[in-house]
C-alpha cells in the first residue's frame, strides 16, 4: 500500500517548512528511516526520514518549495505496487484486455500483481483507531517505546496496548475497545503527534493488516514461506541506522519473525537468535539499534539491567555497561603492582576521572526539550531576580522537637521545604500578581483561581516539575506528604501527565546540593519562581531585648525569586519576599505540628 510522506511539525510555533534538497529521486529504492529529504524552517534545518521501505514513486513538493505542516511531500510504494493507488489499478484491466489475445503470458502475470492489492486496504477500512492522547497541556507529541501487543493478538477494553514516552512522562495507552489488533501504524521508537492514529483494533477474529516491513518478492514458491522471513530479519539488523526513531519495519514485525525462525531446525535461525539470546529473554523486546550497539561493544544483553519502561534495555544502558566493563578490565592492572599497604590508600584518595571524558553522545530528548523551553522563557520575558536573607532558627528548633512525631503521624520526614512552600502559598494569596500570567499580544492578565505549586525534582533523566494542584487548601502536613509522594513517583517514572502540568508558581530547592542561592529561570507561562538556598549556620547580628545588638550563631537561608519584570514590579517582588520572610522568621507553626 502506498505510504504518504508528510511535513512533520518541527516545533510548537512552526507551521510550514521549505524543501531544500531531495536526497532520493523518483524511482529510487529507500529503506525505513533512511534520510529522504532536507527541510528548512525559521528555527531549524533537518532531514526527514522515510516512514516506510519501498520505492519513491512520486515527489509532490519540489526543491525550494514551501509546504504546510501535515501536507504531503512524496509517495512511497512497495516494490511492484502502483504509485498512486487509484489510477494504476484501473488502467491495468484495460491493458490486460487489449493484450490478452496477443500475449497469453501476460494473463498469468497480471493476477499475480493484482492479487495482493485488494487485501491491503481491507483491514484499514474497518476497526477502531487507537490515537495518541493528550498527555499534558504543553505536550504535542509522544514516542512509542514498546508495543505490549502484536498484530493479530486479541485485546480487552482498557487492557494496556502500548507504552508511550514524552518529554515529561512515560505511560501506558489502553485499548479503547475489545477485539483484535489489526494494524500497527507507528512502530517502536517512532514519534507521533497528539491525535495521530497509532493502531487499528477491529472485531475479534478480524483479519490483521499486513505491517510495513521491507517488501518480500512475490514469485516465491508456496512451500518456502518459513525460509523467506529469515533473510528479512538478518539483513536489516547489521545495517540499522543510528538515527532515532528506529525503523518501523525493524521493530514491530521483528519479534514475530524471530519466533518463527526459532521453530524449524534450519541452520539460519542461530544467526537471528544469537545476538538477542541474552537480552530479549531477560528484558523483552530489544531494538535493533541496541542489539547492534551491544555487539560493537561486546556487551551481553542478558547481564544488562534495563532502565526503560518495564525494564526495557536502552542505548544508554548498553553504553554504561560497556564503560563498567572497560573500568573492570583496567582495575586489576594497577591493583597487582603495589606491594606496600600505603600505595593503595593514596590511590583511593585520588578522584578518578569520568569515563565520559573525550566522548560524544546523543542529546537526550528530555534535555533537548528543557533546553528549548529555558531558552524560550528567557527570550519571551524580561526576567529579574531579587534575593532576600531569612533567619530560620526558630523553624530549625521546631523541626528538632517535632520530627519524630511528625514522621509517625504523616509517614514522611519533616524538612525545611514544606515550611518554605506554605509561606510562599500564603504570600501568593496576599499578592496574586505573582501568581498571575500575562498575555501581551491579547492585552490581558489572568489571575488563577488556585495556587498550583510546582516542585522542581532532580531525576536521572533531568529536571522535572510535578505540580501540587490547589496547594492553598493544604496544611503543613498535607504539603509535606504531597511533596514526598510527587518527588518519589517522579524519580521512579510513575507520575501521571496531569500531575506534571498546570503550575502557576514554582519552588526549586537549589540548596539541596549545597548552593547558597542562584537565579532561577521562570518557566513560561508562569510569571515567577522561588529558589531556596542551603540552610547554614552563620554569625549574625541580632537584637536581644536584654543585651541589645549581639552577635549570635543563627540558621540562615537565602531566598531568590526570579520574575517577569514586564508584569511584576520590583516593589511587588519585594513585598512578596518580605511576607515570606516574616512568616518564616515568626516561626508560628506549633499548631501545624501539634506542639
The helix (H) or strand (E) run that includes residue 559 is strand 548-564
- Select from 262, 261, 267, 271 the least CA-distant residue to 226: 261
Q: The C-alpha cell of 8 is what?
A: 512533520
From residue 560, alpha-carbon distances to 341, 416, 490, 581, 587 in Å are: 49, 16, 25, 12, 20
From residue 272, alpha-carbon distances to 235, 265, 277 in Å are: 10, 13, 9
* Cβ pair 39, 17 in contact under 8 A: yes
Interior angle at CA 348, CA 343 and CA 353, nearest 5: 125
Tell me the torsion sign for CA atoms 332, 337, 342, 343: negative
Q: What is the CA radius of gyration of the chain?
A: 31
Interior angle at CA 109, CA 108 and CA 113, nearest 5: 130
Report the catalytic residues: 565, 569
From residue 110, alpha-carbon distances to 2, 19, 144, 159, 218 in Å are: 19, 37, 39, 43, 12
Share in percent of the chain as helix, strand, coil (round to 5): 35, 25, 45
Classify strands 54-59 and 72-77 as parallel, antiparallel or unpaired: antiparallel
Query: What residues contact residue 217 under an 8 Å CB cut-off, 6+ apart?
Result: 79, 228
From residue 224, alpha-carbon distances to 79, 227, 229 in Å are: 20, 6, 10
* Cβ pair 410, 477 in contact under 8 A: yes
From residue 557, alpha-carbon distances to 62, 464, 515 in Å are: 61, 24, 10
Other C-beta atoms lying within 10 Å of the C-beta of residue 118: 9
Crossing angle of helices 476-491 and 393-410, rounded to 10°: 70
Amino acid at each position: 500500500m502506498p505510504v504518504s510522506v508528510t511535513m512533520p511539525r518541527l516545533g510548537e510555533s512552526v507551521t510550514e517548512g521549505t524543501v531544500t534538497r531531495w536526497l532520493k529521486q523518483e524511482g529510487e529504492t529507500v529503506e525505513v528511516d533512511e534520510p529522504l529529504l532536507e527541510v528548512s524552517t525559521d528555527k531549524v534545518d533537518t532531514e526527514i526520514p522515510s516512514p516506510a521501505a519501498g520505492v519513491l514513486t512520486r515527489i509532490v513538493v519540489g526543491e525550494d518549495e514551501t509546504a504546510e505542516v501535515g501536507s504531503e511531500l512524496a509517495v512511497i510504494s512497495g516494490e511492484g505496487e502502483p504509485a498512486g493507488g487509484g489510477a494504476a489499478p484501473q488502467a491495468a484491466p484495460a491493458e490486460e484486455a487489449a493484450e490478452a489475445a496477443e500475449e497469453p503470458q501476460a494473463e498469468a502475470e497480471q493476477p499475480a500483481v493484482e492479487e495482493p492489492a485488494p487485501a491491503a486496504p481491507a483491514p484499514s477500512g474497518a476497526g477502531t483507531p487507537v490515537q495518541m492522547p493528550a498527555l499534558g497541556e504543553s505536550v504535542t507529541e509522544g514516542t512509542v517505546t514498546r508495543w505490549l501487543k502484536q498484530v493479530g493478538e486479541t485485546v480487552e477494553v482498557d487492557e494496556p496496548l502500548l507504552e508511550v514516552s514524552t518529554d515529561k512522562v512515560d505511560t501506558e495507552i489502553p485499548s479503547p475497545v475489545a477485539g483484535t489488533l489489526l494494524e500497527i501504524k507507528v512502530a517502536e521508537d517512532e514519534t507521533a503527534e497528539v491525535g495521530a492514529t497509532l493502531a487499528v483494533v477491529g472485531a475479534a477474529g478480524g483479519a490483521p493488516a499486513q505491517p510495513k516491513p521491507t517488501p518480500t518478492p512475490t514469485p516465491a514458491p508456496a512451500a518456502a514461506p518459513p525460509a523467506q522471513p529469515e533473510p528479512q530479519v538478518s539483513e536489516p539488523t547489521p545495517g540499522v541506522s543510528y538515527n532515532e526513531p528506529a525503523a518501523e519495519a525493524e521493530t514491530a514485525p521483528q519479534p514475530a519473525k524471530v519466533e518463527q525462525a526459532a521453530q524449524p531446525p534450519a541452520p539460519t535461525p542461530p544467526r537471528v537468535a544469537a545476538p538477542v539470546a541474552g537480552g530479549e529473554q531477560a528484558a523483552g523486546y530489544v531494538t535493533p539499534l541496541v542489539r547492534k550497539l551491544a555487539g560493537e561493544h561486546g556487551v551481553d544483553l542478558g547481564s544488562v539491567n534495563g532502565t526503560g519502561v518495564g525494564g526495557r534495555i536502552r542505548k544508554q544502558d548498553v553504553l554504561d555497561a560497556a564503560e563498567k566493563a572497560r573500568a573492570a578490565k583496567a582495575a586489576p592492572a594497577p591493583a597487582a603492582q603495589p606491594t606496600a599497604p600505603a600505595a593503595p590508600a593514596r590511590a583511593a584518595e585520588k578522584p578518578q576521572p569520568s569515563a565520559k571524558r573525550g566522548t560524544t553522545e546523543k542529546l537526550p530528548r528530555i534535555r533537548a526539550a528543557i533546553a528549548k523551553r529555558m531558552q524560550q522563557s528567557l527570550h519571551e520575558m524580561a526576567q529579574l531576580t531579587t534575593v532576600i536573607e531569612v533567619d530560620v532558627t526558630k523553624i530549625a528548633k521546631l523541626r528538632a522537637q517535632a520530627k519524630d512525631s511528625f514522621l509517625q503521624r504523616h509517614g514522611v520526614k519533616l524538612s525545611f521545604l514544606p515550611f518554605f512552600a506554605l509561606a510562599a502559598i500564603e504570600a501568593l494569596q496576599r499578592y496574586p500578581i505573582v501568581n498571575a500570567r500575562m498575555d501581551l499580544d491579547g492585552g490581558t492578565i489572568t489571575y488563577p483561581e488556585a495556587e498550583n505549586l510546582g516542585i522542581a525534582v532532580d531525576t536521572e533523566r533531568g529536571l522535572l516539575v510535578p505540580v501540587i494542584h490547589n496547594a492553598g487548601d493544604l496544611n503543613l502536613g498535607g504539603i509535606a506528604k504531597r511533596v514526598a509522594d510527587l518527588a518519589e513517583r517522579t524519580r521512579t517514572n510513575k507520575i501521571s501527565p496531569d500531575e506534571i502540568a498546570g503550575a502557576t508558581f514554582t519552588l526549586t530547592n537549589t540548596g539541596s546540593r549545597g548552593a547558597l542561592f542562584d537565579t532561577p529561570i521562570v518557566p513560561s507561562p508562569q510569571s515567577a519562581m522561588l529558589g531556596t538556598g542551603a540552610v547554614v549556620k552563620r554569625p549574625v547580628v541580632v537584637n536581644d531585648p536584654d543585651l541589645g545588638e549581639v552577635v549570635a550563631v543563627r540558621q540562615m537561608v537565602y531566598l531568590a525569586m526570579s520574575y517577569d519584570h514586564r508584569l511584576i514590579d520590583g516593589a511587588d517582588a519585594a513585598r512578596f519576599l518580605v511576607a515570606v520572610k516574616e512568616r518564616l522568621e515568626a516561626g508560628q507553626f506549633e499548631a501545624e505540628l501539634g506542639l
